[in-house]
Structure 1
Amino acid sequence: MSVTVRIPTILRTYTDGRSEVAAEGATLADVLADLERNHAGIGARVLDEEGKLRRFVNVYVNDDDVRFAEGLGTATPDGAGVSIIPAVAGG
């Protein structure tokens, strides 16, 4: 399944400055693995040492927060949009 991944500014150094890239995969885990294959280094910024989503990174498939869906097992149907959004903290 081909999806469009929206890349936040902080991670665009891995995508040659592109704000959107195409990726393949039936699940979010597959899409992230494809991103890492094609944009080395991005995976470590999104996943922790145990291969789980980092706490400060929010990921959406279409408009659904994957933390309230199937996590890395969330389906990524053909044509879906995946958004990687770093959490913002402060006061």
Structure 2
Amino acid sequence: MSVTVRIPTILRTYTDGRSEVTAEGGTLQEVLADLDRNHQGIAARVLDDDGRLRRFVNVYVNDDDVRFTEGLATPTPDGAGVSIIPAVAGGAR
């Protein structure tokens, strides 16, 4: 399955500055593995040492936050959009 992955500004050094790239896979885990094969090092910024999504990174498949669906096992149907969004800390004082 081919999906479009939206890359946040902070990770675009891994994608030669591109804001969107394509990746293959039937699940989010497979998509991230393919993404890392083609853009080496990007998975280490999204996954922790145990292979789980980092706490400060939100990932959506289409409009669904994968933390509330099936996590890395979330299906990624052909044509889906995957968004990687770093969490923003802070707030008003």
TM range (shorter): over 0.9
How is 1:69-88 mapped onto 2 (pairs within 5 angstroms)?
69-88=69-88
RMSD, aligned CA: 0.3
Q: Distance in 2 between matches of 1:5 and 1:61?
A: 9
Q: Distance in 2 between matches of 1:68 and 1:43?
A: 20
Partner of residue 27, structure 2: 27
**Structure 2 residues not aligned, in runs of 5+:** none
Higher gyration radius (CA)? 2
| Cα deviation digits, residues 31-53 of structure 1 (max 9, x gap) | 00000000000000000000000
Partner of residue 9, structure 1: 9
Q: Distance in 1 between matches of 2:19 and 2:66?
A: 20
Q: Give the match's secondary structure for 1:37.
A: helix
Q: Sequence identity, in percent?
A: 86
Q: Give the match's secondary structure for 1:72.
A: helix
Moved beyond 4 Å, runs of 4+: none
Partner of residue 39, structure 1: 39
Partner of residue 49, structure 1: 49
